[in-house]
Amino acid sequence: MPTFTAYTTLGGRENAENLGAALERMTPEPIGVGVFEMEDGSGLWEIGGYFTQPPDQAALALLAAAFGAAEFVVSELPETDWVAHVKRELSPVEAGRFLVHGSHDAHRVPEGAIGLLIDAAMAFGTGHHGTTLGCLRAIDRLASQGFGARSTADIGCGTAVLAMAAAHVFDGAVIASDNDAVAVEVAQANIAANGLAGRIACVEASGFEHPDIAAAMPFDLVLANILKGPLIDLAPAMALATAEDGIVILSGILNEQADEVIGVYQRNGYNLRERDEIGDWTTLTLVKSRR
């Protein structure tokens, strides 16, 4: 099936997000829309749509004019087996003692490493993104420092790669949750593929709002690799869900957002323990203070 792309640029986040929302309402509808700030210091944002039919170029021109954007550039992508392509391109990722790999690279896990199998079709959470990598390194560091978690929660678990890492290095119970039903199915499949079905419970939930999560509280370790906004919103609930002297590992935070997130969590009873930057992304390790 051919895929068509339509890209434009314009200044200002709000304007870009509004154009992205308008692009989603086009006919024929795009199968996906992305809005990204360009990393060249220009202050411009890139807005792109993916289509399975040629997009209406007259409608694109009207959208560009209405929002003051550059003219859309439309291209047809060659047909590609993307899963096979990703398998070729995604090499195993080392994070401390962890090695995140696809099934095609299972033979490359060295002796003494902890292999985490995440296949290429489940792209987010493969360890190649700075947020996932930062969290894995933080988990490995905690285990190396002698921290022990009797109970762990992975909130917004995605592929469940962080929950699986925790289950390998800590003896306690692990629960993984996501508010997206498809993500939960992916997480369950990954957990089973890694031989951890009996070690990790997986539930569909928003934040900590699930009876199984409530029954397991308080947690010695909470993992949340989501985004700044949800992390800030979750801070009060996170504080209730974390045991005294418990640890939270937070990511999905741009470097320039980290101070704001730290401030919110400090006001909710946490102290900063570690701050790690990988590229544009920050991972925070915080400890819940005693009352």
- Residues 145, 270, single domain; the answer is yes
Please tell me whether residues 281 and 163 are part of one structural domain. yes
Strand 3-11, strand 73-77: pairing:
antiparallel
In this structure, the answer to whether residues 261 and 190 fall within a common structural domain is yes
Does 280 lie in the same domain as 156? yes
Same domain, 250 and 193: yes
Residue 224 banded pLDDT, cuts 50, 70, 90: very high
pLDDT (0 to 100) of residue 181: 85
Residue 80: its pLDDT value, please? 53
The mean of the pLDDT values for the chain is: 86
Q: What is the pLDDT of residue 281?
A: 87
In a domain, 87, yes or no: no
**Residue where a domain stops, chosen among 77, 97, 132:** 77
Average pLDDT over residues 198-227: 94
pTM comes to 0.69
Whether residues 73 and 130 share a domain: the answer is: no
Helix, strand counts (H, E) of the chain: 9, 14
Q: Distance between CA atoms of 161 and 202, rounded to whole angstroms?
A: 12
Return the CATH number at 181: 3.40.50.150
Q: What is the per-residue pLDDT across 58-93, written as a single tens digit (0 to 9) for each?
A: 999 999 999 999 999 888 876 655 444 444 444 567
Structure tokens at 120: 């290429």
Q: And the tokens for 206?
A: 């928003």
Residues 243 and 155 in one domain: yes
Domain boundary among 21, 47, 77: 77
What pLDDT is stored for residue 90 in this prediction? 47
Q: Could you tell me whether strands 173-178 and 151-155 are parallel, antiparallel, or unpaired per DSSP bridges?
A: parallel
> What pLDDT, on a 0 to 100 scale, did the predictor assign at position 56?
93
DSSP 256: G
pLDDT confidence bin for 33, thresholds 50/70/90: confident
Cβ atoms of residues 173 and 217 within 8 Å: no
If one counts the domains in the chain, the total is 2
- Judge if 52 and 192 occupy the same domain: no
Residue 27 lies in a domain: yes
223 and 142 fall within a common domain: yes
270/152 same-domain check: yes
pLDDT for 8-21, tens place per residue?
999 888 899 899 99
Spatial neighbors of 215 by CB under 8 A, at least 6 apart, are none
Q: What is the secondary structure of 9-33 as a DSSP string?
A: EEE-HHHHHHHHHHHHT-SSPPSEE
Q: Is residue 109 part of a domain?
A: no
Residue 216 to residues 54, 94, 124, 153, 210, Cα–Cα distance (Å): 51, 31, 27, 9, 10
CATH label of the domain that carries residue 47: 3.30.70.260
User: Are residues 147 and 56 part of one domain?
Assistant: no
91, part of any domain? no
Asked whether residue 86 is domain-assigned, the answer is: no
The verdict on residue 61 lying in a domain is yes
CA angle 284, 34, 252 (to 5 degrees): 5
Question: In this model, does residue 249 exceed pLDDT 90?
Answer: yes
Determine, yes or no, domain membership for 72.
yes
Q: Give residue 36's domain range.
A: 3-77
Considering the domain boundaries, does residue 37 fall inside one? yes
Residues 161 and 275 in one domain: yes
Kindly state the average pLDDT of the residues 26-38.
84
The phi and psi torsions of 63 (rounded to 5 degrees) equal: -65, -45
pLDDT at 174 over 80: yes
For helices 130-144 and 161-169, the axis angle rounded to 10 degrees is 10
